[in-house]
Structure 1
Amino acid sequence: MKNRFRYQIPTLLILTASLGVTYKLWQHEQHNIAIDQQKSFDFNLREAIGSIEQRMAAYEQVLRGTQGLYAASDVVEREEFQVYINALKLGANYSGIQGVGIIPIVAQAQKEAHIAAMRKQGFPSYAIKPESHQDVYAPVIQFEPSVGRNLLMLGLDHYAVPSRRNAMEQARDSGSPAITGKVTLLVDAKSDAQPGFVMFLPMFKKGTRSDTIAARRANINGWVIATFRMKNLMAGLYSRRVSMADITIYDGVEMTPQTLLYDSQAPDGKLRSIAHKDKKFIEATEYIEVGGRTWTLAIRSLPEFDVLQGKDNSRLIAIAGIGLSLLLTMLSWALLSGRARAMSLAQKMTQELRESEARFRHQAQHDSLTGLPNRALFSDRLGQALAQAKRQHKRLALMFIDLDAFKPINDKLGHHVGDFLLKEVALRMQQHMRASDTVARIGGDEFVVLLPSIEDAQDALVLADIIRNAISEPFEMPDGTILNISSSIGVAVYPEDGLDETQLSRNADSAMYYAKQSGRNTVQAFQAQVTF
C-alpha cells in the first residue's frame, strides 16, 4: 500500500503538469484567434464606414453638379436639365437615388402666376400640393428621370412638411447639403414603401453673396433635391468580407425600431424588429455624419465571419493534449512500477510530448496546406518589423497577392488540383525571398509578403514583378497537364503609405484590388487618390 501511494504522487503530478501545458497551449491559441478576429472585424468596420462615406460623397457631387449647371447658365431649359440628369445614368451609377429635381421659392403673391406659368409649359393639371395657405412655397418644378411614380413629385411643396422644411433651412443656412431624418418617400406606394431620406442643396441668386448666414438667407433662390431609398442605396455596397457581418443603420443615436434605416439581414426585404436579433460573436457601434445628421452604424459578426478567418486549432490542441496527458499518466504509472525500465520509458514519452507540443504550436502558427506562416504569425512579425523600422528610421514594404482566376480552376478541375497549385505558388515565392523576408497565406488564394528592410519603394516593386513573373510561368501537374495562372499584386511602403499595421494592410489591399481592376497580372503601388 505504501509503495502504491508512492507511485500515485508522481503520477498525479505528471497528469497535472501535462494538463496544465495543454491548457496553456489551448489558451494561447484562443487568444491568437480572438486577436485575429478582432483585427479583421475592425478592418471590416472601417471598410463599411468608408464605403458609406464614399457613396454619400459621390451622391453629394451629383447635387453639386446640378448646382453648378444652374450657376453657370442664365436659363436652364427643362430639356437641358433632363438631358443632363439622364446622362448621369442614375440607375446604373448611383444606386439608391430615385431622382434629382429643382425647387424654387414661390411667395404667396406669386403663387397663381407660378401655377399659370407651369401649366403654360405643358402641365395643365399642375398645382402646388398639398393645398395650403402660407407665406412661402417650395414646390418641385422638375424631377428627373420623369418616369413612373417620379411624376407624382411635380408640384409637391416640401415647405409644407416640417421635417423637410427643417432640412431645407439647415442647407440654406450652412450652404452645404442637408438631409432629412428617416422618412417614407411621398411618391412611394404603400405596398413598396421602405425607409428613405431626402437631400437638399441650396442654390443662390446669381451674382450675389453667400458667405454669411444673413447673406444666404437673403439671396436663397431654391434648392436641388434628391430622394433616396435606403435599401437600394446599400445594395451591392460591401465586399465579401463585410458581407460576413450583420449591418444595421439608425437615424440618430437612438437604436430603436422607429429609427431603423437599414438591416442587412432583414428577411424578404422587410425591416425586422431589433428585439429578435441573435447574439453575435463580435459587435461594435460607430457614428458617422451624413448631410448634417448623425447615423449610428451597428455591425455584428455572423457565423460565416468565423469560417472566413481560417482554421481553429484550439479544439485539436485540447483533445490531443488531454489524450496525450491521459496516455502519459497511464504510462507513467506503469513505468514507475517498472523501476529502471519505467525511468527510461518515462524520459522517452516526455520527449515525445514535447515534440507533440512543438508540432501543435507550429500548426497553430502555420498554414496546414502550404506550411507558410498564417495570419496570426504574420501579424506578429509585421508588428515587430514596424517597431524596428520606426526605431531605426527605415522603410519596409507589404505586398498583398491574389491569384487571378484561381476559383474557376479549383471548381472545374477539383480541389486536389487547386491545393497542388497553391503549394507550388508558395514554393516559387519562397525561392525569391531573403532569409529576413516573410511570405504568408492568409486565406483562400491570398498571400502576403513582408520585406522588413528596403532602400526605397522601387526595391519592393522589382521583387513584386519577379514574383508575378514566377507565378505566371506554366505549372506542370502530376499527370502532365500544363496550367497557367497569374497574380495581381498590391504594394504599400512604410512610412509613405501607412504608419501602422491596419493602415498599411488596408492600403496594400487597396493597391491589389486596383491591380485587378487594371487588367490583372499586374503590380500596383498604392496611390492615395485611388480608393475602393
Structure 2
Amino acid sequence: MPLSDAPATPAPQRYPASVPLLLAALVFLVSLIVTYVVADKVERSAENELEATFDYRVRDLAAVLARRMAVYEQVLQGTRGFLRGSIEVSQDDFADYYAILRLNERYPGIEAIGIATIIPPARLEAHVAAMRAAGFSGYEVKPPGPRDFITSVTHIQPFGGRNLRAFGYDMFSEPVRRAAMEAARDTGAAVATGRVTLVQEGARNVQSGFLMYVPVYRRGMSRATVAARRAAISGWVYAPFRMNDLMRGLGGEHASDLEVAVYDGKQASEDELLYRSPGARPPASRAMLSRTETMDTAARTWTMVIRSAPQLEATLDKRPTAAIAATGIGLGLLLSLVVWLLATERRRALQLAGGMTLELRESRDRIDAERQRIRLILQNAYDAFLAIGADGRVTDWNAQAAMLFGWSEEEALGREAVELITAPEWRPRWRAHFAAFHARGECELLAAPTEILLADRHGRALPVEIAVTALPSNGGFAAVAFVRDIRPRKVQEERERQRQVRLDEARTALLRSQKLEAVGKLTGGVAHDFNNILHIISVNVQLMMRNDEGSRKRLLSIMDAVERGKKLAAQLLAFARRQPLHPSVVDLAQLIERMDSLLHRAAGDAIQIRFDIADRLWHTLVDPNQLENVLLNLVINARDAMNNEGRITIALDNIHVEEGDALAITNIRPGDYVRIAVTDTGSGMPPEVAERAFEPFFTTKPEGKGTGLGLSMAHGFVKQSGGHIRLASTLGEGTTVCVFLPRALQDRPDPLYIPTPH
C-alpha cells in the first residue's frame, strides 16, 4: 500500500483554556437561580403569614366596631321602650333610668343619652317658663330666633360638665342633625348623622363626632305610613358620640398593629375624616399592607381605611431569606471553585466537595429549624389549626385542634377531614362541599370568619368560629383553617340575655310600684275625706238617738252602715299608707304561735296549715295588730283560692339583700329583713291577674264574696312599715305572697301586746 494511502493518525483533542472557567461560571449562575427561587419562596411564605395575620386583625376590628354600634342602637331602642310613647318623663325618673344603665362603665364612647322634645312655636314662651319653674333658672332654647319647627334638649344624662352646653339646644336648626332627625322620623328606625362637632366640645381637645337618633311616637297613634309617622312624632331619643373615645381600645391588645382611619360616606375624603389612629403615618406614606372596608350603621355608611402599623410590619422576619441568600451565594462560589478545581486538580476538588457537603448539611439544618419554628408557632396558637389537602385528608393538625376535637395528631394526619370534624349525619353534605371546593376553590367560609357547628370525636356539637384560606394545589385546591371555640362566648351571651330579662322584670316591677303609689295617694285622700264625712254623720245620729226614741231602729241601721263605711275607710287608709300605726319590737315566732288557733279557725277544718320557722329569727319593728290582720287576710285569700281543700304553708326566715343580687334588682333596698312567705296549693293566677292583684277593689271573687281590699291593704301596711311585698303565682300550681319586714336591732321584743279581736 502506498504510504500516501495509509490512514492519518487523529491529532489529540485540545480544550480551550477558558472551559474550566466557563463551567465554573455556569455552575455559579445555576446556584444563584436556585438560591433566588428558595429565598423567594421563604420570603413569600413569611409575607403570606403576615398578610393572614393582618386580614384577621382587620376582620376582627370591623366586627367589634359593628357589634359596639349595634349595642348602642339597642340602648336607644331600650330608652324609647322606657318612655312608652310619651316624652313627658320627670328629670328624676330619667336620671334613675340612666343610673340603672351604667353607661359610663359598660359603653365607652357614648357621651350621654338625651331627649329632644318638639315645641310648637306658639308654646315656646310657656315651655321656657315651665322649665325655669321646674328649677332650671338659666334654661333657654338655643339658638334664639323665630323658626317654623323648634325642638329642645329637655333631658340629658349625665346632667353636668360638658353636657350642660347641650341643654336647651335646638338640634333641628342645624342641617346635618336635622337630616338625620327627619330620616329617623320618617322611617321609624335608628339613624346616625354625618360628621359633626358636638355642642359639648370646648375650645381644647376637640374631636369629630356624630349623633344617633331614635324617634318617639305618641302612644296609640298609627305609624303605618310616612304621613302617619310625621303626625305621631313627639320627639327623639338620641346619643352623642366622640369618635376618639368610641374607638379607644377597640383593637384590644393588638390595637397598635393597625393604623385606622374612619371616613363618613363611601369615599375616603379628608374632609369627611371621623377618626385617625393616634401617631399614624400620613396618608401619603406607603404601608406594607392596606385594606378598605365599608360598614353600615344606623342608616349611615362609613369607610374604614386600615393599614399595617410599623409594629406589625416589624414582625416580618427577613433573616431566613438573608441567610438563605448568603448561604446560596457562598455555596455557588464553592461549587464554582470546585468545578474549576476539578478541571485542574482532582484531590483538591474532593476536599472542597467535603466542605461543600458540610455547608449543605448546615443549610438543611437551618431550613429544618425554620420549619420547626413555624410548627411550634402553630402548635401553640390560641386557635385550632388544620390543613386539608386537595384530596380532603388532613396534612397538619395542631395541639389545640387535638384538644378541641378529641383526635390526637397521630390519629388525625392522613385521615379524611370530614370524619374528624363533623357528625355522621352531616358527612354526605360536607363531602359534597369539599368536592366543589376542590374543583373551584370557592366556599362561603372564605369571605370572613363564620360561626358554624362542627362535632368532636364523640359526635357532640361544637359552636365554633372558622376562618378558611384556599391554597392552589396540583390538580385542585387545598385549604388551611383556623377554628376558634366560642362556647365560652355563647355562655357569656346567655348570661347577658338572662341579666337583661331580670332587668326588664325589675323595670316592670318599678312601673307597677309607681302605679300603685299614684293610686294610693288618690285613695288616701278620698278615704280621709270620706272618714270625716262619716264622723259628722255618726255624731249627728248619736245626738238624734238621744232625743228621738221613735226613730231609734232606723238610726241604728244608719249607724251600722256608718261603721261599715269606717271599716272600708280604714282599709283604704291602710292601702294609702296613712293609717295610724303603733309599731313595737315583735318576735314573729311568738306572734304566729299566739295566732295558731285563730288561723286554723279562719282556714277551716279541711285546710291543713304547716309552719316552717327558722331558728334564731330576727325581731322586727311593726304594728303587731295590723300585722295580724295582714296574716289573717292572706290565709283567708289562700283558703278561697283552694276552694276549702289543700295546704297552706307559712314560712319565716332571715334574709340579707345585697346590692346587685336578684332581690335588689326587683327594687328591694339592700339590708336585713325578716321574710314571711304564705304559700297555697290553689289554682294560681294568670299573669294579667297577678299584675293587678294589689290594686284596690280589684278581685276575681263573685260579687258579695270580697271587697278587693285585702291585698291592697297588706301592700299599704307593709310599705308604711318600711318593708316590701312580692307576689309569685303559677296557674294551676298555687300562689306565694312574700312580706319583707326590716330587721329591728333590739335584742328583746317589747312586752306582750293585747291582740286585736277578730
The normalised TM-score by structure 1 is: 0.72
Structure 1 stretch displaced more, 309-318 or 89-98: 309-318
- What is the root-mean-square deviation of aligned Cα atoms in Å? 4.0
- Whether the aligned pair in 1 keeps the contact of 2:454 and 2:464 (CA below 8 Å) is yes
Q: SS of 1:285's equivalent?
A: strand
Q: What secondary structure does 2:252 align onto?
A: coil
Letter in 2 for 1:362: D
Matched residues in 1 for 2:399 and 2:149: separation? 60
Match of 2:341 in 1: 334
Alignment equivalent of 2:50, drawn from 17, 34, 37: 37
Query: How far apart are 1:50 and its partner, in Å?
Result: 0.7
Aligned to 2:420: 454
Task: Report which of the two structures shows the higher radius of gyration computed on alpha carbons.
Answer: 2
Pick one of 76, 93, 96 that aligns with 1:83.
96
Counterpart of 1:213 in structure 2 is 226
- Superposition map of 1:459-498 within 5 A: 493=454, 497=464
Q: Which whole-Å CA distance do the structure 2 matches of 1:287 and 1:134 have between them?
A: 37
1:366 and 2:372 equivalent? yes
Alignment of 1:373-392 (within 5 A): 382-385=386-389, 388-389=391-392
Q: 1:144 to 1:305 in 2, by over 3 A?
A: same
Q: Do 2:463 and 2:487's aligned partners in 1 also have CA atoms closer than 8 Å? A: no
Which residue of the partner structure matches residue 306 of structure 2? 299
What is the distance in 1 between the residues matched to 2:298 and 2:319? 43
- 1:17-28 equivalent positions in 2, closer than 5 A: 17-28=30-41
Q: Unaligned regions of 5+ residues in structure 2, if any?
A: 1-13, 425-450, 456-461, 471-478, 498-758
1:504-523 matched pairs, under 5 angstroms: 508-509=483-484, 511=486, 514=489
- Which digits, 9 at most, give the CA deviation of each residue in 1:204-237, with x for residues without a partner? 1111222332221121111001111111111111
Q: 1:166 aligns with which of 179, 193, 198?
A: 179
Amino acid at match of 1:215: A
- 285 and 206 in structure 1: CA distance in 2 versus 1, 3 angstrom threshold: same
Distance across 2 between alignment mates of 1:102 and 1:294? 25
- Give 1:244's aligned amino acid: D
Q: 1:48 to 1:291 in 2, by over 3 A?
A: same
* 1:411-466 deviations in Å (ceiling 9; x for gaps): xxxxxxxxxxxxxxx9x99xx9332547xxxxxxxxxxx988426579xxxxxxxx
**Alpha-carbon shift at residue 317 of structure 1 (Å):** 1.1
Distance 1:245 1:400, change over 3 A: farther
CA–CA separation in structure 1 for the residues paired with 2:263 and 2:87:
41
Contact between 1:437 and 1:452, CA under 8 Å: does it hold in 2? no
Mapped to 1, the partners of 2:488 and 2:23 lie a distance apart of 59
Partner secondary structure for residue 332 of structure 1: helix
Quick one: which of 457, 468, 471 aligns to 1:501? 468
Per-residue deviation, 1:174: 1.6
CA distance in 2, matches of 1:282, 1:30: 15
Change (3 A) 1:147 1:111: same
1:269-323 residue CA offsets vs partner (Å, 9 max, x unmatched): xxx8x45x53111111111112222111001112211334567521111111112
Helix, strand or coil for the counterpart of 1:241?
Answer: helix
Residue 55, structure 1, aligned to residue 68, structure 2: yes
Q: CA deviation at 1:366?
A: 2.8
Quote the residue 2:217 is aligned against. Answer: 204
Determine if contact 1:158/1:165 at 8 Å carries over to the other structure: yes
Aligned partner letter, 2:388: Q
Classify the secondary structure of the residue corresponding to 1:132: coil
1:171-228 per-residue CA deviation (whole Å, 9 max, x = no partner) reads: 1112111111111111211113111111111011111222332221121111001111
The offset of 1:345, in angstroms, is 5.3
Q: Structure 1 residues 145, 74: CA separation in 2 closer, same or farther (over 3 Å shift)?
A: closer
Cα 1:17–1:263 shift into 2, 3 Å = same
Change (3 A) 1:240 1:311: farther
1:454 counterpart letter in structure 2: L
Q: Which amino acid aligns with 1:435?
A: E
* Structure 2 Cα separation of the partners of residues 378 and 101 of structure 1: 42
Q: Which runs of 5+ in 1 are unaligned?
A: 402-425, 439-449, 459-489, 519-526
Find the aligned partners of 2:156 and 2:467 in 1 and give their Cα distance: 47
Distance 1:311 1:513 in 2: 38
Q: Distance in 2 between matches of 1:133 and 1:124?
A: 22
Cα drift, residue 65 of structure 1: 1.1
Contact 1:400 1:512 in 2 (8 A): no
Distance in 2 (alpha carbons) for counterparts of 1:345 and 1:382: 46
Secondary structure of residue in 1 paired with 2:116? strand
- Describe the superposition over 1:126-173 as per-residue Cα deviations: whole angstroms up to 9, x where unpaired: 211101211221100011000112112111001111111111001111
Q: Which amino acid aligns with 1:365?
A: R
Letter in 1 for 2:373: D
**Secondary structure in 2 matching 1:122:** coil
Q: How many equivalent residue pairs?
A: 435
2:146 matches 1:133:
yes
Cα offset, 1:246, TM superposition: 0.7
Give the direction of change, closer, same or farther, for the CA distance of 1:493–1:328 in structure 2 (3 Å limit): farther
CA separation of 1:36/1:513 partners in 2, compared to 1, >3 Å: closer, same or farther?
Answer: farther
Secondary structure in 1 matching 2:183: helix
* Equivalent residue runs for 1:119-198 within 5 Å: 119-198=132-211
Distance 2:167 2:68 in 1: 27
Query: Is 1:71 aligned with 2:75?
Result: no
Query: Counterpart of 1:21 in 2: which secondary structure?
Result: helix
Distance 1:94 1:53 in 2: 14
Alignment correspondent of 1:443:
none
CA distance in 2, matches of 1:240, 1:82: 34
Question: Which amino acid counterpart does residue 148 of structure 2 have in structure 1?
Answer: D
The one-letter code of the counterpart of 1:178 is V
Task: Check the 8 A contact 1:172/1:202 in 2, yes or no.
Answer: yes
Q: 1:346 to 1:211 in 2, by over 3 A?
A: farther
Q: Please state whether the residue corresponding to 1:61 is helix, strand or coil.
A: helix
Checking the alignment, whether the CA contact within 8 Å between 1:366 and 1:374 is kept in structure 2 is: no
Residues 1:278 and 2:244 aligned together = no
